[in-house]
């Protein structure tokens, strides 16, 4: 006689399912339609920030939603389909913070004709949702940055073309005309006789004055392109020259506080600092409505700090972050290339401060 298949009593089966319910890592619950929580496990209580299962059982499910409308929308979908699979929902933790869950829910009909109940399981997907949101924001920042860089590239190209056109006009109008006049005078001299000595001397003097003016124009064009002081005497001397030129050109009083000794920066690093200074002063002249400007330069603990401060109207935070502020974007881009940063702060009616911080290494530091 064969032994029969072993059986599990209803009591044992109930204990087994109860054990699974209470010790499952997934949150499990059983509620009524009006929100009374009939049962839940410890995982669900922990997920929602409650100290114990008993504490959560004293709550109504409506309290777990960020708004009553969320609960109503959830019940409407559940009644329409009878079950929800992989449904994402945002609930409220005990401390008020949102918690995102992924749940499977069933509407269970009572065989005796009583009101239906809701059985569900849930897992916490808050970290995943936060990671998705962080990725979305990162993509938005990347798209904004890419768009800003494209605008900056077009702006740089436009500036380059305008600068080329300006130089071409300068060369044509100033140097071209001067050389044409000199050529005409040389032709005139070649046909003169020694008897016309006085006329020749007068024409040579005029030619000499024209050559001097032409040389001055050439020096000015070259200085606009790149000040020779920056290469010959260094950054400090170039800043002194630039601030004097700014004061003369705009009438805005400019006070400087610079190192007494020249800074032996590399050519490229000095150019970055100088161009950011130029752009800062240009913005003061165009937008600040200032009467005074203070420029300071110092080096401390391997960090070069350039500060340009004015007493004008003050830049707003919106203007600082505006995507079309290509001059400001260009300053930041220059600094970033050297692992530096530019900070721009304005106070309404009290002026704007531009601060460049740039890590630098001098020859004596590199040798140690």
Read off the pLDDT band of 367 (50, 70, 90): very low
The domain segmentation of the chain, as residue ranges, is 10-124, 128-225, 229-367
Question: Between vectors from CA 184 to CA 178 and to CA 187, what angle results, nearest 5°?
Answer: 140
For residues 203 and 189, what is the distance between their CA atoms, to the nearest angstrom? 8
Read off the pLDDT band of 363 (50, 70, 90): very low
**Is residue 42 pLDDT above 50, yes or no?**
yes
Rounded to an integer, the average pLDDT of 92-96 is 92
**Is residue 174 pLDDT above 80, yes or no?**
no
Tokens found for residue 271: 């150019």
**For the domain 229-367, what is the CATH code?**
3.30.565.10
Residue among 100, 86, 38, 91 at smallest CA distance from 68: 91
**For the domain 10-124, what is the CATH code?**
3.30.450.20
Q: Give the distance from CA 242 to its chain's centroid.
A: 29
For residues 241 and 323, what is the distance between their CA atoms, to the nearest angstrom? 32
pLDDT at 205: 75
Read off the pLDDT band of 293 (50, 70, 90): very high
DSSP-derived letter for residue 49 is: T
Q: What is the largest CA-CA distance in the chain?
A: 153
Lowest mean pLDDT among 164-178, 254-268, 347-361: 164-178
Rounded to an integer, the average pLDDT of 309-319 is 88
The CA R_g of the chain, rounded to the nearest whole Å, is 39
Tokens found for residue 276: 């950011």
Sheet of 303-310, strand order: 253-257, 292-300, 303-310, 351-359, 341-347
Whether 10-124 shares its CATH topology with 229-367 is answered no
Q: Where are the beta strands (DSSP E) in 265-364?
A: 292-300, 303-310, 341-347, 351-359
pLDDT in tens, 188-239: 666 666 666 667 777 777 777 777 777 677 666 665 666 666 767 788 988 9
Residue among 293, 328, 288 at smallest CA distance from 310: 293
């Amino acid at each position: 006689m064969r032994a029969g298949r072993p059986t599990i009593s209803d009591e044992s089966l109930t204990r087994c399912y109860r054990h699974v319910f209470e010790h499952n890592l997934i949150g499990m619950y059983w509620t009524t339609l009006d929100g009374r929580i009939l049962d839940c496990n410890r995982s669900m209580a922990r997920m929602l920030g409650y100290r114990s299962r008993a504490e959560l059982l004293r709550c109504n499910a409506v309290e777990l939603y960020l708004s009553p409308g969320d609960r109503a929308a959830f019940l409407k979908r559940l009644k329409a389909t009878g079950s929800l699979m992989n449904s994402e929902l945002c609930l409220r933790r005990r401390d008020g913070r949102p918690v995102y869950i992924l749940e499977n829910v069933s509407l269970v009909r009572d065989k005796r004709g009583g009101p239906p109940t809701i059985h569900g399981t849930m897992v916490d997907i808050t970290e995943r949702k936060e990671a998705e949101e962080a990725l979305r924001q990162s993509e938005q920042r990347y798209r904004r940055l890419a768009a800003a860089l494209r605008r900056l590239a077009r702006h740089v190209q436009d500036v380059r073309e305008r600068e080329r056109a300006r130089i071409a006009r300068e060369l044509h109008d100033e140097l071209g005309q001067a050389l044409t006049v000199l050529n005409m005078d040389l032709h005139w001299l070649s046909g003169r006789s020694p008897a016309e000595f006085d006329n020749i001397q007068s024409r040579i003097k005029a030619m000499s004055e024209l050559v001097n003016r032409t040389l001055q124009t050439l020096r000015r064009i070259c200085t606009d392109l790149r000040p020779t002081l920056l290469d010959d005497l260094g950054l400090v001397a170039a800043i002194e020259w630039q601030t004097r030129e700014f004061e003369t050109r705009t009438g805005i009083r400019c006070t400087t506080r610079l190192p007494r000794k020249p800074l032996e920066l590399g050519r490229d690093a000095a150019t970055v600092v100088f161009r950011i200074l130029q752009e800062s002063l240009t913005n003061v002249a165009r937008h600040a409505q200032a009467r005074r400007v203070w420029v300071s330069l110092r080096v401390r603990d391997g960090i070069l700090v350039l500060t340009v401060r004015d007493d004008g109207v003050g830049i707003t935070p919106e203007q600082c972050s505006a995507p079309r502020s290509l001059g400001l974007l260009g300053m930041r881009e220059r600094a970033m290339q050297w692992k530096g940063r530019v900070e721009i702060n304005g106070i309404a009616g009290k002026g704007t401060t531009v601060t460049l911080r740039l890590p630098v290494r001098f020859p004596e530091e590199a040798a140690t």
